[in-house]
Structure 1
Amino acid sequence: MSAEQHDTHDAHGSYRSYLIGFGLSVVLTAIPFWIVLGEVDIHLWLALTIIFGLGAVQIIVHVVYFLHVTVKAEEGWKVMSLVFTGILLLIVLVGSIWVMTHLNNNMMPAHDQIERVRALE
């Protein structure tokens, strides 16, 4: 019985872990806000890389500190399902971008075709 109580206690975070997660979340949110609202003079690609990178780190912080998904939880099944979900999400996003780019390149008339049609009118 005590082993079950110990397992359920590990499934929930402590007050300290919630505070650490909250602090990290605040910092990881404040930095992109500062970059955008403070009009920091950096290249656009660097700003986007920092913002998306910190967003990815914040996802990991939320999963670990608030959702308590670790390798030890449920013998790793939670992590495996999270990785599977991430792979499916990546496949859907990359596939959608690929299809939309393909359609844009092959279905939209080229500029020279539009000019030829206008010349005939």
Structure 2
Amino acid sequence: MEKRTHPFPTKHVLGFLVSLVMTFGAAIVALKTSLSFDAVMWIIGTLAIVQAGLQLFLFMHVKEGEDANSQVINIAFLVFCAVVIVAGTIWVMSFGMSH
């Protein structure tokens, strides 16, 4: 019988550690800084987007496989739909007129 060797998942461990650093960084920015509310929200939002992208590529293997291009197109469409839904909801809640 042939023994299978599995290399150590260096990219996965590094991605996990970077995700932890970003999560704790966001918590520290939110709880321990004297920055303005807007600055804190921008920092947390940016870290969240970077972390989501990191997890998509490292853990969900978006660019691997036969349908790599269609996966990216599907994710782009998902992001577009999410932006339209969130922006539309904010617009209706902010400027909606009740009769």
Q: CA RMSD in A?
A: 1.7
Find 2:54's aligned residue among 50, 58, 61.
Answer: 61
TM-score normalised by L of structure 1: 0.68
The number of equivalent residue pairs is 91
What are the Cα deviations for residues 67-89 of structure 1, in whole angstroms up to 9, with x where unaligned?
1112x532411111111111111
Higher relative contact order (CA 8 A, sep 6+): 1
* Structure with the greater alpha carbon radius of gyration: 1
Match in the other structure for 2:88: 95
What are the Cα deviations for residues 4-26 of structure 1, in whole angstroms up to 9, with x where unaligned?
xxxxxxxxxx6111112101101
Supply the AA of the counterpart residue of 1:31.
G
Task: List 4+ stretches of structure 1 deviating above 4 A.
Answer: none
Structure with greater proportional helix content: 1
State whether structure 2 residue 15 is matched by structure 1 residue 24. no
How far, CA to CA, are the matches of 2:36 and 2:15 in structure 1?
Answer: 30
> Which runs of no fewer than 5 residues in structure 1 stay unpaired?
1-13, 109-121
**1:41 aligned counterpart, secondary structure:** coil
Question: Residue 62 of structure 2 contacts residue 68 of structure 2 at CA under 8 Å; is this kept in 1?
Answer: no
> Which runs of no fewer than 5 residues in structure 2 stay unpaired?
1-7
TM-score normalised by L of structure 2: 0.81
Identity of aligned residues (%): 23
